[in-house]
Structure 1
Amino acid sequence: MPEISAIRALRYNLGHVGNLSDVVAPLADAIDPQRQDILYKRHPASCVRLIANRDEPGDVAGSSDERAARFWRRWQSEGVLQHEAAAEIYIYQQTYPDGDQTVRRRGILCGVRFDSPEDRRLYTATETIDAVVEARYELTRRCAANLSPIVGLCSDPDDRLQDLLDSAIQEGLEITCVDDAGVRHSIWPINDERTIGSIQNILGPSPVLIAAGEDNLAASRKYLNWLNDHEGPVANDHPANFALTLLLRLEDSGDLLDSTHRVVRGGAPLTSEELVARIGECFTCNTIVEGPDAAEVAWTPISGRDHQGRLAIYCGGDRRWVLCEANEAATERLRKRCPQASDEWCELSINLLHHLIIPELLAEDSPSIQECRTIDDVVAAISDDEGCRFAALIPPIDVDAMETIAVQEERLPANAFHLAHAPLTGLVFNPLNRR
């Protein structure tokens, strides 16, 4: 079961930086060049300079990481970042509108011990990308810190944690900021040993399902191994044993996961006629609408979490959207390619795309795949670039399905989904060296 620990964190000195909203940033994988530029201009101490330091003229390999590490050290020496006086756990809350209602999602920011990739206290569902893990590890090693949190889900079926957090919030000091989407992010530092012990007792029996940050987790493991190799055996209570983690209640995660769509480039643009000829044996195909701007219309019939097995595919050759629904032949072909896969794994649209349509039915050889988080991003990608071969809109994955895949030790393609309302980087940093 997970071992949860208070951490001796670093936080922004608000007397130095002013408004916390000006210095926080999205998680690194959500920062594109345009967002990076906005954050750079917003504040000279924005944590984007740590997690997504931009390339500069004359850079060589490692230059941006070393520049980030210099900011990290300098901001501590100048008082921009300050160590907490004591080890703490942080109650975390997101607040955002959903129609006529206000949603509040709560959890805790803390350290979570990890031991090995086979640690059955931590379940992961998606593949990692070696290059991304290496980049996160290099930054972790140079700064000796977790800069962004892993996001994990823990079960709290009797609302014991919820009730405890409700009580603790009433007595704590709220530190808050608002992101560019209007989501309010708040933390309450907790150093009361009795409250921390109660949180540990409630969440201790619950395994952690990793919803985001597998690359950060792998990087933290690699950093711990590096410490053991270069500085001798690391003590059991050393901070590097504990990865910065946001633990959310599994019971509050119904709308947590959003689709990450694909735009495929390379080769001649695909026409709808060619698509149907290639995949028609395995998918029922119907042309539903034309033009890049019709993406929202094409998205409607697959947008529900119960729409697995469906894809809306845009064909760059004739600019048509085709609704594709898997049949029994698709399942049979996928099982031949992946004979150990479970029924739940085979049903997911993302797996049908990556393991059947792209490599076998379309016989794409190492295509260039762009991942898009929103329909608007897809429209921009297929409108501005004539090199689009095809694009695929993918229905969102349900958390229950992700949990099933993780527990069965199966894997989804990297970036199969993203968090609909992700935490921010910059609320809390976790140093991995002793003080």
Structure 2
Amino acid sequence: MAKIAPFRAVRYNLEKIQDPVSVTAPPYDVISPALQDDLYRRSPFNLVRLILGKIEPDDDAANNRYTRAAGFFRQWQDDGILVRDREPSIYLYDEEYQAEGMGTVVRKGFIALARLEDFATGMVKPHEKTLSGPKADRLQLTKACEANFSPIFGLYSDPCCVQEALTWELKKRTPDFEVTDDDGVVHRLWQVTDRTVIGRICGLLENKPLFIADGHHRYETALNYRDFRRAQSEGFSGKELFNYVLMYFANMEDQGMLIFPTHRVVHGLEAFRLEPFLTELGVYFEVEAHTVDPDDADSRRQARDILRNKGENKPAIGLFAGGRTLYVLTLKDAASMDAFFDEKTSKALRTLDVSILHRLVLEKMLHITSEAQEQQTHLGYVKNFDEPFSMVQSGQCQMAFLMNSTRMVQVRDVANAGEKMPQKSTYFYPKLLSGLVINPIVCGETVED
């Protein structure tokens, strides 16, 4: 099944970087233009210049964000800003954060290389759809820089928490790298070179499938890059570094593993009227009206609790279209979703809150096609529960659909069925920080057995 390996990471040289937080960055796909500008200002060595460089007006095939990233990557290594570890290692990676109602939570995992497997083998299981644009972008970056700058987020199942037991003693020492990000999440990294520990951890995962939690575009990009490099090689053993990808491994049974929802906002629908829409919703859903003050934090919190409680036993979606009313939609009959899916589609996918919203509500009732959804025509995504209320009240959008979190068992069941959820069905919090370790895909090097 899964094949993982230690590697010699490229890391920031803390003898030359006095403020580590100034050089790290969130994943490229959550960096807004404003944050990109801010990261550029924080340090001339911030990783944003590698993972999401600015586009300049005179860019061409020979000089662009990808070639500039490659130039920065080479120069920073030449200048000792980035240095490569001497020994193949794995890197323990903990994230400590505050979760509402839970207090301090720590998600524990480690970073290593994972052998790239085609999805058809069933060894690596995706759960979300991908788009061609981001994959083309990441492939150009990988070709230019020959490196993985950010790890894929991978999950495995281990109810006995063997990896955690093997490594807890190692974490008693001071971390090799520790930063607190803009959201207050504390990121800690420990390098592990002990061959015995590495061997036991690698052995732990050899009989387990891997589930992609986050980084679907980057994983498919790595597959495409592997195939590109193989086509350039007269022969390959399978141990070349381009056959592997940088991955963060976390136990899906870890108590620090939380999934947050992503809410949907709808805008720009001509001739939309709420009353006929509510009538149509009533055919499929129990529609309950609850009073909410969109400007009051306590009232919004109560609305979220109502939605969570309704979603404990059956799919439930919140609808806010202005005023002081939150409509809670609970599906009357799960069998009603059969008409919107192929008969071979698993029940796990048919009865997901996000599947019901996208297929039944957005496509059938609001006529927002799957293509329009992918292009985010009439549709936007918001992670914060409070923001959709203000967006509706200000007229930025016509309505907001408030979602409950997708559960871990649902992610596993859909992935095991070989199926894909709609985009942004899961939001694994916190995000992995980019800049802790880099995997250089060095020509001629191979992984260790």
**TM superposition score normalised by structure 1:** 0.92
Which of the residues 140, 143, 159 maps onto 1:141?
A: 143
Identity %: 27
Residues 212-260 of structure 1: per-residue CA shift (max 9 Å, x gap)? 1111110000001111123443332111111111101121156421101
Question: Is the 2:107–2:256 Cα contact (8 Å) retained in structure 1?
Answer: no
Whole-angstrom distance in 1 between the partners of 2:43 and 2:314: 43
1:345 and 2:354 aligned: no
SS of match in other structure, 2:226: helix
Residues 280-306 of structure 1: per-residue CA shift (max 9 Å, x gap)? 100111332467546555433223673
Uncovered stretches (5+) of structure 1, i.e. residues with no partner: none
Whole-angstrom distance in 2 between the partners of 1:361 and 1:100: 38
Displacement of 1:168 in angstroms is 2.5
Question: Which amino acid in structure 2 is aligned with residue 354 of structure 1?
Answer: H
Question: Which amino acid in structure 1 is aligned with residue 340 of structure 2?
Answer: R
Whole-angstrom distance in 2 between the partners of 1:6 and 1:100: 34
Whole-angstrom distance in 2 between the partners of 1:31 and 1:226: 28
1:323 and 2:333 aligned: no
Give matches, 1:309-388, under 5 Å: 309-315=315-321, 320-328=325-333, 331-338=334-341, 339-365=343-369, 366=372, 367-384=377-394, 386=395, 388=397
Counterparts in 2 of 1:293 and 1:132: CA distance versus 1, 3 Å: farther
1:116 and 2:118 aligned: yes
1:80 and 2:84 aligned: no
Q: List, as ranges, runs of 4+ consecutive aligned residues in structure 1 with deviation greater than 6 Å.
A: none
Cross-structure match for 1:274: 276
Question: Is the 2:90–2:193 Cα contact (8 Å) retained in structure 1?
Answer: yes
Which of the residues 184, 187, 191 maps onto 1:185?
A: 187
Question: Which amino acid in structure 2 is aligned with residue 314 of structure 1?
Answer: F
Counterparts in 2 of 1:122 and 1:216: CA distance versus 1, 3 Å: same
Counterparts in 2 of 1:207 and 1:334: CA distance versus 1, 3 Å: same
Counterparts in 2 of 1:95 and 1:42: CA distance versus 1, 3 Å: same
* Number of equivalenced pairs: 431
Displacement of 1:80 in angstroms is 1.4
SS of match in other structure, 1:21: helix
Which of the residues 427, 431, 434 maps onto 1:422?
A: 431
Question: Is the 1:25–1:425 Cα contact (8 Å) retained in structure 2?
Answer: yes
Whole-angstrom distance in 1 between the partners of 2:295 and 2:348: 33
Give matches, 1:21-420, under 5 Å: 21-59=21-59, 63-98=64-99, 101-170=103-172, 174-252=176-254, 255-268=257-270, 270-289=272-291, 292-293=294-295, 296-303=301-308, 306=312, 308-315=314-321, 320-328=325-333, 331-338=334-341, 339-365=343-369, 366=372, 367-384=377-394, 386=395, 388-420=397-429
**TM superposition score normalised by structure 2:** 0.89
Whole-angstrom distance in 2 between the partners of 1:233 and 1:266: 54
SS of match in other structure, 1:15: coil
Counterparts in 2 of 1:423 and 1:269: CA distance versus 1, 3 Å: farther
